[in-house]
Each structure stands twice: as structure tokens, then as C-alpha cells.
């Protein structure tokens, strides 16, 4: 696999990222941040200076990790040390999220995220299919990629996948921006961060809260989030199931995906599912060793 890194001038987002990573409180996040490359992507980048971040580490068969809604590659900081001795890990920020550039008047719906990943894999010149680990919304995106480009994906692990069932709900103008304003509030960010963990009292502190909100400093964050809301986001992405082997892990104390949504998703993926105890919506943060073990154990067969 050849890495094609851009030689263009440093972008606004890259300069910002260099500043922000110096303030990171979590040592694992620092390690992951130091592995980030900034790529100019054919059919995605509109200017020479528009570059997209991806963390790359480890050696072995390629494994693509997809983060959830309004998050970033730093979400996988605890999983990376457990897998990079076995895989070449590719951890991008999804299009319109994380520390990606947000060009004005762009579309930020499902199709744009799929195209971004397709062009990213082509840019990296990967000569084999990749494994996929998708968390929350990243799980729905993993299903879309596996169906649309089956030759590029060999296996899938879903972590509390969101967007497998239901119908797209397109948020109308004005309400989309109000929603983004709401999500920007500091108290809202802290509460959502706590809600994602099984035991927030013992699991959430300043490092977790910092990482959950650090990417809000990227120019255009509100604009791209509102555009994504107007698009309808990810919904009804579970069926038909991709032909690749699929396994899913769910937290028994997931307070993000509950009720009918979780029930429909579990039934859809049955019997390729397991529910683990003392775990919330982020198994890769609550139970990283278990997640790594499940992936590596399946690699032996």
C-alpha cells in the first residue's frame, strides 16, 4: 500500500489540528494524532489546498475504522494500540465531520460520505480488500460501502450501529441550524459525552469531554452539520445485508440507541450479534480489549 501525501501548502484545518493536538490531555489521543496524514483527494478536493485527515498506523492487512456522528478519528484511541500490531489501521475523519475541511455549498449527506471513502481507498492505492469496523453511524456507513463496493470489503464488525432501521428524516431549514446551535452548547456536549459511556462517573473526565468537542473548532462545523441534517442522514441502511461476514457488538447499557431502534437492528442482524455487560454506546471505549479480541479471534478462521 503506497501512501500518497499531499505536497500542497498547509491547509487551515491542518494548521488548526497541529495547534489543538498540542493541548490533548489523553496520551493515547496524542499518539493517534501524531499518526495523522493530510491528503488531497481526487474527485473530492476542490482546490490544491483542500486536504483530508486520516490516521495511519501499524502493519498487516488493511483495516478501516469508521467513527460515529459528530465525532472524529480520536474516538478509536483506545482500540488502536490493541490492533496496530496485526493490521495497517486506516482511520479517517468522515466527510463533513471531525477535522475535515467544510467547503461552502457542498452536500454533506450519505452519498458524499460514501464517495469520500471510495476516493480515499483509491488514493491510498490499496491492492487488497479491507476489513471494516464501524461504530454507531459508522456502522451504517460500513454497510453502505460493503454493498456498493463489495470487492473492497472482506469483513465487518459493527459497534452499536446506528441508522440500520427507520426512515430518513430531513430536517427543514432553520431547524437544522437551531439543532447545530443546540449541539454546540457546552452543557449539551458534556451530557452527551456522559450518556455515551456505561459508567460516566468513573469513565468520563476532562480528557473524554475534550475529545468529544475538540473538532467543533473547525471552520464550518455548524454549516456542515446543518447540511447533513437536511439530507436526512443515515437511516434504513441495514437491508439487504451485505454478503461479507458480519458480527455486531452491543452494550447492555447503551443509552443512545434504545427501544424499538435497537430491537429492530438486533433482529435484522441476528444471529450475528452479542450484547456485552457494563458497556454503553461506545464498546471501543468502554471495552476496547473485548472488541479487539473479537476482531482478532475471527481473523483466525
pLDDT in tens, 235-282: 999 999 999 999 999 999 999 998 899 999 999 999 989 999 999 999
Query: Rounded to a whole number, what is the distance in angstroms from the first to the last CA of the chain?
Result: 24
256 found inside a domain:
yes
Q: Are 137 and 234 in contact (CB under 8 A)?
A: yes
36 found inside a domain:
yes
pLDDT in tens, 44-87: 999 989 999 999 999 999 999 999 999 999 999 999 999 999 99
Strands 36-39 and 130-135, sheet pairing: unpaired
Average confidence score pLDDT of the chain: 94
1 found inside a domain:
no
**CATH number of residue 95's parent domain:** 3.40.50.1820
Q: Domain containing 60: what range?
A: 12-299
Q: What is the mean pLDDT of residues 105-122?
A: 94
7 found inside a domain:
no
Per-residue pLDDT, 6 = 52
SS3 (DSSP) at 292: helix
Q: How far apart are CA 227 and CA 224, in angstroms?
A: 5
Per the structure, how many domains does the chain have? 1
191 found inside a domain:
yes
124 found inside a domain:
yes
Q: What value, to the nearest 5°, has the Cα angle with vertex 93 and ends 92 and 97?
A: 165
- Residues 297/284/198/142 CA torsion (nearest 10 deg): -100
Residues 285-288: contacts with CB under 8 Å, at least 24 apart: 285/75, 285/78, 285/196, 285/197, 285/203, 286/197, 286/198, 286/199, 286/203, 286/251, 287/251, 288/78, 288/79, 288/82
Q: Which region among 4-13, 205-214, 284-293 has the lowest average model confidence (pLDDT)?
A: 4-13
Per-residue pLDDT, 115 = 96
3 found inside a domain:
no
Per-residue pLDDT, 3 = 53
DSSP per-residue codes, 34-61: TTEEEE--TTT-SSTT--EEEEEE--SS
- Portion of the chain with pLDDT greater than 70, in percent: 96
pTM exceeding 0.85? yes
Burial class, 137, CB count within 10 angstroms (exposed 0-12 / middle 13-18 / buried 19+): buried
Letter string b/e over residues 220-253, b meaning 16 or more CB atoms within 10 A of that residue's CB: bbbbbbbbbbbbebbbebbeeebebebbbbbbeb
Q: What is the mean pLDDT of residues 15-29?
A: 97
pLDDT in tens, 192-210: 999 999 999 999 999 999 9
Per-residue pLDDT, 2 = 46
31 found inside a domain:
yes
Per-residue pLDDT, 106 = 84
Amino acid at each position: 500500500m503506497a501512501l500518497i501525501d499531499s505536497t500542497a501548502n498547509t491547509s487551515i484545518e491542518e494548521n488548526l489540528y497541529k495547534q489543538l493536538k498540542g493541548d490533548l490531555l489523553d496520551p493515547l489521543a496524542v499518539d493517534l494524532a501524531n499518526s495523522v496524514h493530510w491528503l488531497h483527494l481526487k474527485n473530492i478536493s476542490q482546490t490544491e489546498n483542500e486536504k483530508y485527515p486520516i490516521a495511519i498506523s501499524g502493519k498487516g492487512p488493511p483495516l478501516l475504522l469508521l467513527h460515529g456522528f459528530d465525532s472524529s478519528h480520536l474516538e478509536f484511541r483506545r482500540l488502536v494500540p490493541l490492533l496496530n500490531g496485526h493490521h495497517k489501521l486506516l482511520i479517517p475523519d468522515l466527510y463533513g465531520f471531525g477535522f475535515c475541511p467544510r467547503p461552502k455549498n457542498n452536500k454533506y449527506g450519505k452519498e458524499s460520505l460514501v464517495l469520500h471513502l471510495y476516493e480515499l481507498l483509491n488514493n491510498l492505492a490499496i491492492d487488497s480488500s479491507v476489513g471494516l469496523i464501524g461504530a454507531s453511524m459508522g456502522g451504517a456507513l460500513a454497510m453502505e460501502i460493503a454493498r456498493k463496493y463489495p470487492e473492497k470489503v472482506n469483513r465487518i464488525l459493527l459497534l452499536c450501529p446506528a441508522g440500520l432501521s427507520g426512515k430518513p428524516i430531513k430536517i427543514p431549514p432553520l431547524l437544522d441550524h437551531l439543532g447545530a446551535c443546540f449541539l454546540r452548547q457546552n452543557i449539551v456536549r458534556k451530557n452527551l459525552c456522559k450518556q455515551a459511556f456505561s459508567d460516566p462517573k468513573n469513565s468520563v473526565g476532562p480528557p473524554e469531554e475534550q475529545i468529544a468537542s475538540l473538532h467543533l473548532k473547525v471552520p464550518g462545523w455548524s454549516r456542515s452539520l446543518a447540511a447533513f441534517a437536511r439530507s436526512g442522514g443515515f437511516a434504513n441502511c441495514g437491508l439487504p445485508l451485505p454478503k461479507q461476514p458480519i458480527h455486531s457488538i452491543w452494550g447492555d447499557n447503551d443509552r443512545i440507541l434504545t427501544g424499538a431502534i435497537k430491537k429492530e437492528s438486533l433482529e435484522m442482524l441476528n444471529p450475528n450479534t452479542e450484547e456485552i455487560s457494563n458497556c454503553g454506546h461506545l464498546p471501543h471505549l468502554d471495552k476496547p480489549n473485548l472488541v479487539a479480541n473479537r476482531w482478532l479471534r475471527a481473523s483466525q478462521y
